[in-house]
A and B are shown apart, each in its own frame.
Chain A
Amino acid sequence: MADQPTATERFIQGVLPENPVYRQLLGLCPVLAVSNNMKAAVTMAASVTFVLLCANVVTSLIRNLLKPHLRIVVFTLTIATFVTIADRILAAYLYQMSKTLGPYIPLIIVNCIIICRCEVCASKQSVFTAASDAIGQSLGFALALSSIAAIREILGTGMFFELRVLPAAWPDWVIMALPPGAFLTFGVMLAAINWISSNK
């Protein structure tokens, strides 16, 4: 496997060149659903990081035992285990946030970023590479999610992390806090990133 990217390459690619949201268009459900304020977005990104890191490490450890026709099932069960742990931890220590995020934490099980990383990287490469890949991809996901959440929270409520950053006279763009705001912000961000990278 000489042509596989190294751990450093995996890490760098995950952050921007192969950003899971803006480049691969994966895991859009949480990006659209929990991006109307920074707190929820950061909690979501942290949960995804935990699950992705653990799932990648475990998958990489058992990669020699995987049978090709059963690998997806094994990935899903591994991911489900860690999602359950994350979900219960949130419910125990951040009850209010757990209520706010509702079904979106359990839905990490079917988040394609994680299953994609297990398939592409962890099931073929060493534990160290898989871990650095997981961290890079999570960072990319956190970056994308919080960029959208920052725009939506600031325009929608004039606040950032629930602290007022715009003057009180700011007219709240209510639409930005509602679902259409997520689609519009994501579309505009995607267009902007494509525009910038095509002008390079």
Chain B
Amino acid sequence: MTKKEDRFTTFEKAAGKLNVASSPHLVDTAMTTRSMMIDVLISLAPVILMSVYVFHWYAVKQLLICIASCLAAEALFTRMRNKPFSLLDYSAVITGVIIAMSMPGTAPWFVSVIASFVGIGIGKSVFGGIGMNIFNPAMVGRAFVMIAFAGYLGASGYEDAGSLVDAITQATPMDIFKQSGVVPSLSVLFWGVTNGSLGETSAIACIIGGVYLCIRRTASWEIPLGVILTVAVLGGIQNIVSPDSGWTVLHHLFGGALLFGAFFIATDPVTSPLTPKGKFIFGAGVGAIIMLLRLFSGYPEGVMFAVLLMNALTPLINRWNVPKPLGEH
């Protein structure tokens, strides 16, 4: 043991007796990483239940594969870095659930395993583990497999004629609209009895879970508000410009992964800005990039890329929104 570590441990011992701590001096210590993560799991419950209801075995299979591989990846990479084993904080489980919910049910097992290992490894561990990552780990993993195995995650990956579920044999509403301009009914998008990535189909499930997260203050309400407002405004402008397309503002809001992304992915506290104003700007940026990609790119949906791009801008937003100390002019 080196001298420096020695001094550190003596300091720690003294700290135990004297109760020396740096700010913030929190009296309420109820909000730990673990309790936050459990909150996220509770809020994901409606989404998970809905996905199991719509996709049956496919959803269960994806969930099991993703959670198991995320935990394995976390165990492996923390061990490689000689860090304490941190499975009990549930962060890897959340990453696993979010990756699973953002996958189409028919994606083969190795796609989910690779997404999990890339997400935890390249998305999180290389930056120094939990709390240090620049990009949302789940989205890093998904972006990797999205580019590596576009065929399994794109439209053709959905069309599995031999499946038990009716929903899975159709292309997703976003794809159908992109390719042939057919508009699905709003109630289908709202309840989520349609095809898509597992967690994205049901708007109502995302809203219930998301509102719970915001009320518990585990997620900051500024981010989803920013996303939804921007999408609503830009979708409204698009409606005015081309009123006969039939894809209304509500289609933009309820369709695709928008609500799932706004409530569960963009709100990751590690990769989003710190101040309320910064959070709103972040949300608005995500919404704007989503609309840009939906309307003008080849992809039917852009939530993943929007979140990753805004993650990259988070340090800049933080720098622009440093709160003024009291009394400074």
Contacts and interface: CB of A to CB of B under 8 A. Distances in A.
A191 B122 contact: no
Nearest to B110: A171
A174 B149 contact: yes
16 contacts: A171-B108, A171-B110, A171-B149, A171-B152, A173-B148, A173-B149, A174-B147, A174-B149, A174-B150, A176-B148, A178-B147, A180-B147, A184-B122, A187-B126, A191-B126, A195-B80
Interface residues of B, number: 12
Given A175-B144, A180-B147, 16 more contacts: A171-B108, A171-B110, A171-B111, A171-B149, A171-B152, A173-B148, A173-B149, A174-B149, A174-B150, A175-B147, A175-B148, A178-B147, A184-B122, A187-B126, A191-B126, A195-B80
Interface string A26-64: 000000000000000000000000000000000000000
A166 B158 CA distance: 26
A178 B149 CA distance: 12
Majority-rule SS of B interface residues: helix
B162 to A, nearest CB: 18
Across the A-B interface, the 5 shortest Cβ-Cβ residue pairs: A175-B148, A175-B147, A173-B148, A174-B148, A171-B149
Contacts of A195: 80
Interface in A144-174: 171, 173-174
Contacts of B110: 171
A103 to B, nearest CB: 25
Majority-rule SS of A interface residues: helix
Interface of A: 171, 173-176, 178, 180, 184, 187, 191, 195
A187 B152 CA distance: 26
A145 to B, nearest CB: 22
A65 B111 CA distance: 61
A4 B169 CA distance: 72
Interface string B289-308: 00000000000000000000
A167 to B, nearest CB: 13
B107 to A, nearest CB: 11
A178 B150 CA distance: 13
Interface in B87-111: 108, 110-111
Contacts of A178: 147
Contacts of B80: 195
A184 B144 CA distance: 10
A184 to B, nearest CB: 7
A176 B108 CA distance: 19
Interface string B120-131: 001000100000
A173 B147 CA distance: 8
Contacts of A171: 108, 110-111, 149, 152
A167 B80 CA distance: 31
Nearest to A173: B148
B103 to A, nearest CB: 15
Contacts of A187: 126
Nearest to A195: B80
Contacts of A173: 148-149
Contacts of B111: 171
Nearest to A155: B148
Nearest to B144: A175
